[in-house]
Structures are given as C-alpha cells and as structure tokens.
Amino acid sequence: MSDTHEAAAVASDRRRPAPGHAVPVSTYRLQLGEDLTLDDAAARVPYLADLGVTHLYLSPILRAAPGSTHGYDVVDHTEIAPTLGGRAALDRLATAAHARGLGMILDIVPNHMAVPTPVWHNRALWSVLAHGAESEYAAWFDVDWSAGEGALLMPVLGDRIGAVLAAGELVLDRAVIPGFEDEGEVDVLRYHEHMFPVRAETAALPLGELVDRQHYRLAFWRVADEELNYRRFFDVGTLAAIRVEDPDVFDATHALVLELLANGTFDGLRIDHPDGLADPAGYLARLSEATGGAWVAVEKILAGDEELPGDWVTVGTTGYEGLWRLQSTFVDPGGATTLGAVMHRLTGDTPADLPTIVISAKREIVDGALYAEVHRLTELAASICREDLRLRDHTWRALQDCLVELLVAFDRYRAYVVPGQPVHPVSAEALLAAAQIARGRLGAERSATIDVVVDLLLGREAGSAGRTRGARRDELIVRFQQTCGAVMAKGVEDTAFYRWTHEVGLCEVGGEPGRFSFRPEELHAWAAQAQRQTPVQMTTLSTHDTKRGEDTRARLGVLTELSLEWATLIDALRAATAAYRTALLDGRTENLLWQTLAGTWSEDGPIEPERLTEYLIKATREAKTSTRWTAPDEAYETALTGLATRALADPNVVALFADWVTRTRAGVQAATLGTKLVQLTLPGVADVYQGSEVPALTLVDPDNRRPVDHEDLAARLARLDDGAAPRDLADEKLLITSRALRLRRDLPEAFVGLGAGYSPLPTSTGHALAFARTVDGAPQVVTVATRLAIGLDKLRGWSGHTIALPEGDWLDVLSDRVVVGGVQPIGPLLEKLPVALLVRTGV
C-alpha cells in the first residue's frame, strides 16, 4: 500500500465514532441565551421531533461572562450556566428530548476563557491576578511571565495609567469576593465597574507604588495590540487562551462535559476553533480516549482544496467547505463579467484585484491588531539566534521582516507541525510555498534569514550541529501556527471579505470568492470524495458565525442570473438617491449597501432600518477602510446610516426593489429550495440552523441570533401535515426541510450508514442537479434540484430535457407523485416545485 493510500485508510478509520457510539443523522442548532433557556428548548422538543431532526445541537452551556449573548466566553467549566437554568434545567431538557427519541450534541470551547468584568467571575483568572505565577491556576493560561516584568497585562483602562491615577479613577477598597468567601473581606482595586485583587502586603503602599507592585499591570486598552503578554482569541483581549495541552488543565476544564457524555446526556461534541490550540491532533486524541470515541466534529476552516489532517481523531468539520461549494453551484458564471464591471465602476476594484486586497488586509492586521503576537514571535526567534554563535548575525529586524512576510503569504489557517515529530509533507509544502512568496517580497539580503526561520518553524536543524529542540524552539513552532490562524481570520474573513464586493454572498466564512461559481460536476466530485473520506461530518448552510444567512445568499446569487438587469437597477438606485448620497461614502460601501438590500428585500418589504444600519456599521468597521472599531468615524457612519434609512423610506427606491423582487421570484424560489434540499441530502450529518427551515433573511451576528418564533413554525408544520398545500415560499421551504429530515430519520442507512453511497444522475441539462443516495450500491433516495431557473426560463424551460432515474418505482415525498424509473422528462417531475425528493417504493 502506498503512503498516500495508507494515510487515507488511517484517516478513514478516524472519521467515524467508535462502535457503540451514536451517529447523528441530522442536527438542529439552538442558540441558547436568556431569551432561549434550556427549559425553553425543552418546550420546543415536540416541534423539533415532528420536524424530523434526530439531535438537538446546543450552543455552549457552561457558565459564561455576565451579559454573554453567545456562551463562548466561559468563566467556569464546572457549572451549567445559571442564566440558562443550570444543571436541573439541562436534565429536564435531556429527559424531554430522549422521551421523543432525540439525542443531543454540545458545542464546547477548549481554546479560551473570558476575561470578564469584574474579573472575579473567572475564579481561575482572579487567582492568577492575586498570586501571579505562584497561583495554582498559573499553568492554565498561556502567559509569557518573562515579559512585562512578570506582571500579566490587563489592558482595561480608558486612558493611560498616569492620567487615570491623576483623575482619581483607581480606588483602593475592600470587598468579599464571590467564590472566595472563605477569605473574608479583602483589599481590592476598583476602576469603574472593574475590580482587581491586591497583592498581599501591598495595601499600605502609596497608590502609585501599590499599582506598580501587583502581579498584573493595568494599562490603557490600546496597549493590548503592542505589548500583550497572554495569548488571546484572535485579537480579542477579553478572551484569554488556556493551555489544554496540559493534562491537568484538560481534565479540569473537561470533567463536566465528559460526565455529561458518559451519562448519556449528550451523544457528541462540536469543538470550537481547534486551530488555536497548541496541538490540535493531540487534543483530539486525548478527547477521543476520554470519551471512548464519541462523535466529535471540529470547527475547522479548510482553504481551497486543503484536506483535514489525517491524524485528527474527528468525524470531520462543521461543514464550511461544503457550504461555499454548494452555494457557488447555484451562482451563474455568466454574471461574473457584468458584476465585475459594476464593481469596477463603483469601487475601482477589478475581479483580478482580490489577491492584492487580501494581502493588504493581512498586512494591516499583522502590523496592527496582531503586532503583539508578531513581536512575541520575533523575540523568540531572536533569543534562539542570540544564544547560538552560528545564528547570531541574524538581526531582530531581519527576523521580524521574515516572520511578517511568512504570515502574510501563508494561505491557510495553520501548518500542523508538532515539535519533535516528523513533519507531514503537506505541512512542509505549505510553509515552503509561503517562504518562496516571502522571498520575492523581501529581497536577496533577507534570503539567508528566511532560510533559518523556515528551518526553525519546521523543527529542522538550524545553527550549530544537532540543534533542533529546546523550549524556545518548540514554542516558536507552536506560536507561529497559532498566529497564522489569527491572521487568516482577522485579515481575510474579517477585513478583506468586507472590502470585496464582486458578489458579496461569496464572501463567507471558509469561502473562496476568487472562485465565482462551481459547476455541478465539481460539486458531485467533492460530494463523492466526502462520502469516502468524511461520511458523517456536518453539512450546513447557515451557522451562528456565517456572515449572511443561506436565504440572503440565495437571493444574492440570483443577481448573477440577471446581471445586466442588476446593472441597470444600480443606475436607477444611484439616480434616485443622488440628492442625499454624500461624497463621504466610498464605492465599496455603496456596492455593499445595494447588494445587502437585494439580499434582504422580500415580498414583505425591506429589512428593518435598525437591523440594516447596525449591520452596515459593523461591516464598515470590519472593513477598516473609512471607519473602524478602534477609531470610529462619526461623520462617515452618520452619512452611511443616513443614506440607508432614507433609501428604505424613498418611494422610488421602494418601487425599484418591489419590481426587482417580482422579477427575481422564480430564481429566488429555485435557489432557496434547491440549496436547502441538496444540503439536506448530501453526504454527512445535515444541520439546520434555528429558524432556517423557513426563509430567514439574516445578516452577520448578532442579527442571525435573533429569537425564532417556533410556535408559528409549529403551526405551519401542522397545517402542512394536515394536507394543506404550501401557501408561500416559507411553507415550501418548511415542507422540503421536514420531509427531507424525516426521510433521513426513517432511512438513516442511506445517509450515515456504513453502506451509504452517493451517485450523480445523468441529466440532459446543466440546469438540473440530480443524485442518488445509495445503500450498498442500490439507489434508495433521489434528489433533483433546479439550478439557475431564470436562465432556464430564457431557454424554453424544461422542454425536451430528461433525467435518467434509477430503475424501479419512486414516490416524490414533496408532491406525493409516483414516478417510474428510467429516462423521464424533467418537466412533469418538477411541475409543482422546482425540486423533487424521491424515495424507492416496494421491493
């Protein structure tokens, strides 16, 4: 067996849970919070069971920072969040779910904890602030105690420390700290809503000296980007990384979760951001051992054709690589040129400019928000070179230049190099490719230095003979990889993707907007590979992190089918708003505005003004071109929100978009229903994000985390189950979602079974996307979806077009129509809906 085939075989063995562990057939994501507690979730169990899902998929449930709206800012790993109802409510939910035959999956956060306000909510961090490196929790946090004179940086002040002291805003006080009541009343420092412990025997010192003698350094919040000495989640200073690579930290932070898996409360886990960990493969191996091989999926962004590392013990990802491929299959390549021309006219950008925009954005992040991380990398590399005579002439500046260019050139979230272990060829190739690009940007005088840096990052011998390991060399390898992920996330997804406006729906988490569209054959090839390699990983169209909901992206995709008409509409919109559209606004923001309106305008009218303006402010601050979170431009933002709100109320704009909604109705229906049905029947565990069983024209968080009216959904589903015909697109999508989920539940062997397969079906037109799900090679379920319906109508519809169905008798569960196998005309099959879902009948 070749090395490649052997690696594939090993990977395949790791991609299913161990025997005896449940495999979800489908999941339904619930965003828990004060408006959706665990008891509220229990009340929704009857509806979700009727919908057809097999597993509830819960957002994080451990105690989070005060006011948390998402749960990813954990402060206590030993307690179910009281705001969600605590352990008793979780037990009630589990009882209700299990009584209806539903299992549960839990989202957990191993990479970081919150730095809450006040800090005592995180007892582990409070202890570290009180006792420094001597705290029993000091090993929990990824702190460089050698920096900052042994003090942990706390960048929470609204001004520089001198000004804060002069203003009397720091106050010495006494308080009883929750969680530390046995210590009684203790000395504390107060700064507005913040509170910090006072180091023993320093309370009597003058205030300035007292502040300087603590195990932490209070600092102006802007200092964090330049001098932070603890690893954080990307550039979020209020999320401090923890060291789960330490077995004691792993055990302490996972004990409750492992108990809930062992007692059957949960069947599996979703792992948040494993790329941030020191050793993702090691973590997943330890987790598998601790759970006995439970179903575990990872939130992993795969760039381009990158594949999941073969040594990761996981069923696969949460589905972003499938999301962008599927969504792009419903994008018309013929619209690329015209939309590119519109973009160029408004923004000056051309379709060829995306790589340049990405490089520029990554460089800004490396030089700005992540400077502290890059500085730490440079310090490590410089210290390694200083202690080795043969490397001593590689200067700090040269090392920094090389590290910066490598980070900018690196095209994925990380390479997977583990100190002391052989480097996988894929990881070496990715790093060497980045190095080749970096060399071209650095010039010949840095060539020798980048060779040294690459050798260090790959764990090769560098400098004196035999030197490959050491604490700092190992740390450099790990920290560089952790920084790569932060640069990609903040530079590409949270900056460049907000600047690129060719077709904004393509700028999605894990997306590849440089690939404007996907051919059906390419989707089939990817699906077949997924069936072989990751048959029970997740598929999704919307998550709590997507920048736009699936239905918003579906409507944006229709722009590509009517690109000339869209260009004309842009001219009309610009003419209608010329009187109140100021020169302050740049073309990228204007193009984003018009496309956002197209993606969120429905038969019911436009998105609410508050939702639109909140989104536009966030999007433009993320773009960092004219305004940003750290330096908002009030005049710019006022001009932007003014244009948006006036446009929504402008009768001319309303009339133009009302006409657009009418013109695009058929295309929107086909894209909305087609993408959903295909996602629900592709290889993998199908996930439905809360509320997306009907059209939900949502934008980035927090917009996509708004409460869902499950009572209305339950009433709609009951009407459909009673035999009522769908009244609108919402009913149609709910019908498709419920029937597909129920079919998965009733025939799990065709979707997640050991004998499940995927087989494309021949059609006479690229406007039809069709495939069969098989069991041991025998077709059992057939999916048929309409692609690019508007273009199809221009070509006389389905006239003369056929599909080759597998032999036998079939029932379309969407229309109750009986279909005979063999070559059949497509038109009658899709007479009622632009999609069909067939199940084999009889023997």
Tens digit of pLDDT for each residue in 291-310? 999 999 999 999 999 999 99
β-bridge mates for residue 170, sequence order:
191
pLDDT in tens, 735-751: 999 999 999 999 999 99
How high is the pLDDT of residue 144? 84
Element (H, E) at 227: helix 224-227
Question: What angle in degrees, to the nearest 10, is found between the helix axes of 520-533 and 320-329?
Answer: 160
Q: How far apart are CA 490 and CA 479, in angstroms?
A: 16
How high is the pLDDT of residue 843? 52
Out of 463-467, 476-480, 543-547, 726-730, pick the least confident: 463-467
How high is the pLDDT of residue 237? 83
What number is the average pLDDT over the span 49-55?
A: 98
Q: What is the pTM of this model?
A: 0.95
Tokens of 614: 């909140």
Q: How far apart are CA 271 and CA 107, in angstroms?
A: 6
Q: Is 348 left (phi over 0), alpha (psi -120 to 50) or beta?
A: left
Q: How far apart are CA 751 and CA 538, in angstroms?
A: 12
What number is the average pLDDT over the span 421-433?
A: 95
Q: How far apart are CA 51 and CA 53, in angstroms?
A: 6
Instruction: Answer whether CATH 3.30.1590.10 is correct for domain 119-241.
Output: yes
2 falls in which pLDDT band (50, 70, 90)?
Answer: very low
Q: How many helices (H) and strands (E) does the chain have?
A: 31, 24
Q: How far apart are CA 695 and CA 708, in angstroms?
A: 12
pLDDT in tens, 760-773: 999 999 999 999 99
Nearest to 547 by CA among 591, 590, 494: 494
Burial pattern 814-829, b for ≥16 Cβ within 10 A else e, equals bbeeebebeeeebeeb
Burial pattern 597-633, b for ≥16 Cβ within 10 A else e, equals bbbbbbeeebbeeebbbbbbbbbbbbbbbbbbeeeee
- Bridge-based pairing of strands 185-191 and 170-176 is antiparallel
Question: What angle in degrees, to the nearest 10, is found between the helix axes of 550-558 and 320-329?
Answer: 30
How high is the pLDDT of residue 842? 74
Burial pattern 452-472, b for ≥16 Cβ within 10 A else e, equals bbbebbbbeebbeeebbeeeb
Task: Give the CATH class of 3-111+244-317.
Answer: alpha beta
Element (H, E) at 756: strand 756-760
DSSP 833: S
612 falls in which pLDDT band (50, 70, 90)?
Answer: very high
Tokens of 230: 């603890």
pLDDT in tens, 664-708: 999 999 999 999 999 999 999 999 999 999 999 999 999 999 999
Measured in degrees and rounded to the nearest 5, phi and psi for residue 139 equal: -75, -10
Q: What is the DSSP string of 139-202?
A: GGB-B-TTSGGG-EEEEEESS-HHHHHHTT-EEEEEEEPTT-GGG-EEEEEEETTEEEE--TT-
Q: How many beta carbons lie within 10 A of that of residue 173, not counting itself? A: 12
Q: Are 657 and 602 in contact (CB under 8 A)?
A: no
Q: How far apart are CA 94 and CA 101, in angstroms?
A: 10
Alpha carbon of 655 to those of 600, 649, 652, 673: distances in Å?
A: 15, 11, 5, 26
What number is the average pLDDT over the span 25-35?
A: 97
466 falls in which pLDDT band (50, 70, 90)?
Answer: confident
Q: Which amino acid, 194?
A: H
Nearest to 268 by CA among 534, 26, 578: 26
How high is the pLDDT of residue 235? 82
Element (H, E) at 195: strand 194-197
pLDDT in tens, 184-235: 999 999 999 999 999 989 999 999 999 999 999 999 999 988 888 888 888 8
Q: How far apart are CA 658 and CA 173, in angstroms?
A: 61
Instruction: Answer whether CATH 3.90.550.10 is correct for domain 585-659.
Output: no
The structure tokens 């006792």 sit at: 131
The dihedral sign for the CA sequence 70, 499, 497, 517: positive
Q: How many beta carbons lie within 10 A of that of residue 183, not counting itself? A: 11
Nearest to 68 by CA among 601, 498, 531, 701: 701
DSSP 502: S
Q: How far apart are CA 227 and CA 371, in angstroms?
A: 8
Burial pattern 295-308, b for ≥16 Cβ within 10 A else e, equals bbbbbbbbeeeeeb
pLDDT at 78 over 90: yes
Q: Are 837 and 782 in contact (CB under 8 A)?
A: yes
Q: How far apart are CA 528 and CA 774, in angstroms?
A: 12
Q: Are 93 and 42 in contact (CB under 8 A)?
A: yes
In angstroms and rounded to an integer, the radius of gyration of the C-alpha atoms of the chain is 28
The structure tokens 């043969």 sit at: 390
Q: How far apart are CA 157 and CA 371, in angstroms?
A: 19
How high is the pLDDT of residue 10? 43
The dihedral sign for the CA sequence 560, 563, 567, 570: negative
What number is the average pLDDT over the span 418-426?
A: 94
How high is the pLDDT of residue 12? 58
Q: Are 401 and 446 in contact (CB under 8 A)?
A: yes
Q: How far apart are CA 109 and CA 253, in angstroms?
A: 10
Tokens of 496: 């460049």
Q: Are 483 and 491 in contact (CB under 8 A)?
A: no
Q: Where are the domains of the chain?
A: 3-111+244-317, 119-241, 358-497, 585-659
Q: What is the DSSP string of 670-705?
A: HHHHHHHHHHHHSSSEEEEETTTTS----BSTTGGG
Q: How far apart are CA 457 and CA 473, in angstroms?
A: 8
Tokens of 40: 């509220």
The structure tokens 């420094």 sit at: 132
Is pLDDT larger for residue 523 or for residue 227? 523
The dihedral sign for the CA sequence 665, 701, 303, 289: negative
pLDDT in tens, 132-183: 999 999 999 998 887 667 799 999 999 999 999 999 999 999 999 998 999 8
Q: How many beta carbons lie within 10 A of that of residue 124, not counting itself? A: 21
pLDDT in tens, 235-263: 888 899 999 999 999 999 999 999 999 99
Q: How far apart are CA 224 and CA 237, in angstroms?
A: 7
Q: Are 685 and 26 in contact (CB under 8 A)?
A: yes
DSSP 130: H
DSSP 187: E
What number is the average pLDDT over the span 364-393?
A: 95
How high is the pLDDT of residue 217? 94
Name the average pLDDT for the chain: 95
Q: How far apart are CA 748 and CA 768, in angstroms?
A: 25
Q: How far apart are CA 267 and CA 104, in angstroms?
A: 6
Q: How far apart are CA 187 and CA 199, in angstroms?
A: 8
How high is the pLDDT of residue 13? 67
Query: Residue 69: helix, strand or coil by DSSP?
Result: coil
pLDDT at 9 over 80: no
Question: What angle in degrees, to the nearest 10, is found between the helix axes of 634-649 and 563-577?
Answer: 110
